[in-house]
Amino acid sequence: MIQIFKKEFNSFLNSLIAYIVIGVFLTAIGLLMWVFPSSSILDYGYADLDSLFSFGPYVFIFLIPAITMKSFAEEKKLGTLELLFTQPLTDLEIILGKFLASFALVLLALLPTIIYYYSIYQLGNPIGNIDTSGAIGSFIGLTLVGAVFCIIGIFASSLTSNQIVAFILSAFLCFLVYNGLDSFASLPVFGQQTLFVKQWGILYHYESISRGLIDSRDLIYFLSALAFIFLLTKITIGSRQWQ
Amino acid sequence: MAVTQHWLGSKKTGDWLFLANGLVVIVLLNLLASSYFFRVDLTEEETGW
């Protein structure tokens, strides 16, 4: 697993992918937080990181599928997936290695945003007048959302050998799981079951953690989502060896 | 050992069994989590004596 992780992570760093992903993420979030008047903190007047944590997942919806789209799709196209299966590795180890490499890149992109926290901490009046607990909770939430998006991307990549298809499918699934279910819940057809449907989506749990209240049920939700999509990916990858 | 190999039959059966077991574990974990849960409140301020 470590070998797969190293190979994948090095391939990100040796190509432009890592630098583009980190650069685009920080530029997009930076523009939204500091430049665009509709969402700029300087115009808004409150020392908080709301714009980072509300726009962050939407930026992830486009960036994470771009990281993960090649993980299995490229291997299938080049025919190296069969070669990978001949190695003394289980399917789970292969998937886990690829997942950890993508997730490490997401963490690497998220790490510099601590500077934004420090900037707002200094800009607060008085200095340090910022909701630190909410920020910590939101950072944990954003990390978990990133992890779920990574495994969704890897699952989408395992379904096809075309990277563009994997990207579009992954972005759609990420949007559906993040925001789609929450929007579906407001349909009148669900009536009394609105909350139940909302709880299936990531947004409900992300907002809960972002308040600075870490609930074990939210953590179990994220872990379950990760485990469930891991299992689906394992079936998809394993099905190539069934014949 | 031979019995185990025959019981699994094929990789296909093994994979489906793994999925089924995984789903059961996930469902049980969520049922347990809904009954026994805890919260870590980061917003709580420390009160000094």
Partners of A241 on chain B (C-beta within 8 Å) are 11
Interface size, chain A vs chain B, as Cβ–Cβ contacts under 8 Å? 65
Q: Do A238 and B11 touch (CB under 8 A)?
A: yes
Partners of B29 on chain A (C-beta within 8 Å) are 220, 223-224
Rounded CA separation A117/A130 (Å): 9
| Residue A142: pLDDT over 50 | yes
| Residue A154: pLDDT over 80 | yes
Q: Please give the torsion angle defined by the CA atoms of residues B29, B30, B33 and B34, in that order, rounded to the nearest 10 degrees.
A: -150
Nearest to B42 among A133, A239, A241 (CB): A133
pLDDT band (50, 70, 90) for residue A50 = confident
Q: How far is A109 from chain B (nearest CA, A)?
A: 25
What the block records as the tokens of A127 is 């200095």
pLDDT band (50, 70, 90) for residue B44 = low
ipTM: 0.74
- Does the predicted model carry a pTM greater than 0.90? no
Nearest CA in chain B to A232: B19
Q: pLDDT tens across A96-128, in order?
A: 999 999 999 999 989 998 898 888 888 887 877
Q: Do A216 and B12 touch (CB under 8 A)?
A: no
pLDDT band (50, 70, 90) for residue A135 = confident
Q: pLDDT tens across A14-45, in order?
A: 888 888 888 988 998 888 888 888 878 887 77
